[in-house]
Homo-oligomer: A and B are copies of this chain.
Amino acid sequence: MEIYKGEKKRLYLEEHSIAHLFSFSIDEYTEIREYKRDEWIIQEGMRPDFLFYMIEGKAKIYVTHQNGKVSLINFINAKEFIGEMELLNEIYYTKGIQATTKTICFALPFNRYREKLLEDTKFLRELTRFLSVKATTIAAKYSQSLAFPLENRLADFILQTADEGIYKEKHVTVCDYLGVSYRHLLHVLTQFCEKSYLQKEGRNYHIKQYESLSELAKVMNNK
């Protein structure tokens, strides 16, 4: 992890200002941090001392269960908060946050800003909206995970993450995210290939029948 200092910090603050999120200046004590791919921004179980706001990059929220299983609860993208749970709640089991790509975020020290933040309407409104989306997203995933087999959830995930008709997520990550075993994921992917929804090309999968996958995904979503 690298912390931007001096001129580099000044420039970054200028070019990626988040002043619109607050009604007071957070420049002085805020750090600008760069994390490498796979680095842990927050370690599971270790309360952070900062509220983070992600500017560039992607990260993942992980929790490890006592039976050894790991859940990838959600992805975090640019313009999202990290550590807001710890800002708000004294008691909270801190999840692990891992950078998926090179990541740059602002880090606001709790000790300097907590009180001010919790009194700042502008910030609270932002946070409220962020949390409502977060809660809604997880609730949707939760109820879908209980109501539909992997076939449907995977179809949805493939469509959401494919790039130019190519699906190439790591199986290992997808297992944690969809909460199924590696073995079973492979099994359903093979089925998709047998039905010609997908065609395997090396490590990637080429989407051959958008419609079929779309049908599977569609039945999950109330709109």
Contacts and interface: CB of A to CB of B under 8 A. Distances in A.
A65 B222 contact: yes
Contacts of A67: 147-148, 219
Given A119-B121, A132-B88, A139-B138, A93 B222 contact: yes
Interface string A184-199: 0000000000000000
Given A65-B147, A65-B222, A222-B93, A73 B142 contact: yes
Most B CB within 10 A of own CB, among A63, A73, A131, A143? A143
A168 to B, nearest CB: 23
A101 B129 CA distance: 30
A210 B98 CA distance: 38
Contact of A147 (B71, B85, B139): B71
Contacts of A66: 218-220, 222
B138 A142 contact: yes
A139 to B, nearest CB: 5
A48 B69 CA distance: 40
A134 B148 CA distance: 23
A143 to B, nearest CB: 4
A84 B132 contact: yes
A179 interface: yes
Contacts of A146: 69, 71, 145, 178-180
Interface of A: 45, 63-67, 69, 71, 73-74, 84-85, 88-89, 92-93, 118-121, 124-125, 127-129, 131-136, 138-139, 141-148, 178-180, 218-220, 222-223
The 5 A-B pairs at the shortest CB distance, nearest first, are namely A146-B179, A71-B143, A124-B124, A131-B131, A135-B135
